[in-house]
Amino acid sequence: MKTPQAQPAPATRSADPHQRFGKPEHGWRAGLYAIIFESDTPTGRAFDLALIAAILLSVLVVVLATVQPIAAAYGDWLLIAEWCFTALFTIEYIARCLCVRRPDVYARSFFGVIDLMSILPSWLSLFIPGAHVVLGVRILRLLRIFRILKLTLYIQEYGMLGDALLASRRKIFIFLSVVMLIVFLLGTVMYVVEGPAHGYTSIPTAVYWAISTMTTVGFGDLVPKTDIGRAIASFMMLLGWGILAVPTGIISSEIAHQRGRQLWSSRTCTRCMTQGHEDTARFCKQCGEPLPI
């Protein structure tokens, strides 16, 4: 039976979502653990804020290093900054490994992998000498932008969003499969109608065009040029416009539903302490006690 009572679990989780790594019982490792993994002490909160700032700055450095004029003028400074951040995150990674009781569990967890991925590219580019110009290494270095994912740890709502998506995964799968069916059929039709001469060089290309049309993005790199093609495109745009309403409707009703549950829970039964009564209810739906107004 679903009981809409206050759940104590999330509070605990917010205090320390990393309990499964094992907190050491005492000594300097327990103190380090409290600073790095917990956020209910002033030092822990300061560490978290400093780490968020470091992540955002290091991502900014990666981004700026790809802008030609900036890279040309301040390339050396960016390289120095990059190595400072690499050193910082390496120290953080080692400290995290040291202060947990089960480093292997941490290393294989989601954030353990992300933490490793944010330092590995820089070290690899060092150990493969003369490889600075090689494309593979440049791509590797850009992987450091995944550091940004470390931020997700700090916003709990991301987890809830993921739960909500997981809960409606069947609806989303059905919706996407309908869209895919339409997009494949109409993409093939457009490939037949317009053909490679007008840029629709293969069915995958035509499907890419069909998706960009039905989602109302409409890049315009491919456009129908025959009258029949334009008629089909017009039909697809109107269809996509109508279908666009479906995900909106699903999520709207989901949000309205959650909000409705929040509204209902304003009154509490004086006998059994049940919450979640409707505004118009006069008796407790759990024990039959008259409700206070």
The site string for its own copies over 153-182 (x = CB under 8 A, - otherwise) reads --x-xx--x----------x-x-xxxx-x-
Q: Does 250 bind its own copies (CB under 8 A)?
A: yes
7 binds its own copies (CB under 8 A): no
Does 211 engage in binding with its own copies (CB under 8 A)? yes
> Cβ closer to its own copies: 32 or 74?
74
CB of residue 288 vs its own copies: minimum separation in angstroms? 4
Of the residues 88, 124, 146, 226, which one makes contact with its own copies according to CB under 8 A: 146
Among the residue ranges 22-30, 107-115, 116-124, 151-159, the one whose residues contact its own copies (CB under 8 A): 151-159
Query: What is the distance between the alpha carbons of residues 71 and 91, in angstroms, rounded to a whole number?
Result: 27
Q: How far is the CB of 182 from its own copies (least distance, A)?
A: 10
**What's the CA gap between 122 and 141, in Å, rounded?**
6
Is 52 a binding residue for its own copies by CB under 8 A? The answer is: no
Residues 115-144 that bind its own copies (CB under 8 A): 139, 142
Q: Is 223 among the residues that bind its own copies (CB under 8 A)?
A: yes
Task: Specify the residue, 41 or 202, whose C-beta has the smaller distance to its own copies.
Answer: 202
Name which position in 20, 108, 192, 271 contacts its own copies (CB under 8 A). 192
Q: What is the three-class DSSP state of 156?
A: coil
Which residues have C-beta within 8 Å of that of residue 10, sequence separation ≥ 6? Answer: 156
Q: Sketch the per residue contact string, 264 through 283, with its own copies: x for CB under 8 A, - otherwise.
A: x-x-----xxxxxxxxxxxx
- Pair of tokens at residue 154: 């700090």
Answer for which of 110, 245, 270, 271 binds its own copies (CB under 8 A) is: 245
Cα dihedral 163, 168, 169, 175 sign: negative
* Choice between 105 and 117, CB closer to its own copies: 117
Q: How far, in Å, are 81, 93, 175 from residue 88 at the CA level?
A: 10, 9, 45
The answer to whether 138 and 121 have CB atoms below 8 angstroms apart is no
Stretch of residues binding its own copies (CB under 8 A), selected from 16-24, 82-90, 114-122, 232-240:
232-240
Within 10 Å of residue 39's Cβ, how many Cβ atoms? 19
Is 10 a binding residue for its own copies by CB under 8 A? The answer is no
Position 234: which residue type? S
Degrees to nearest 5, angle at CA 109 with 104 and 114: 110
Q: Which of 12, 204, 270, 271 binds its own copies (CB under 8 A)?
A: 204
CB 206 within 8 A of CB 199: no
From 176, 181, 154, 178, select the one nearest 165 (Cα to Cα).
176
Q: Are 156 and 14 in contact (CB under 8 A)?
A: yes
Closest CB to its own copies among residues 112, 224: 224
Which residue carries 């290494």 as its tokens? 137
19, 41, 202, 270: residue in contact with its own copies (rule CB under 8 A): 202
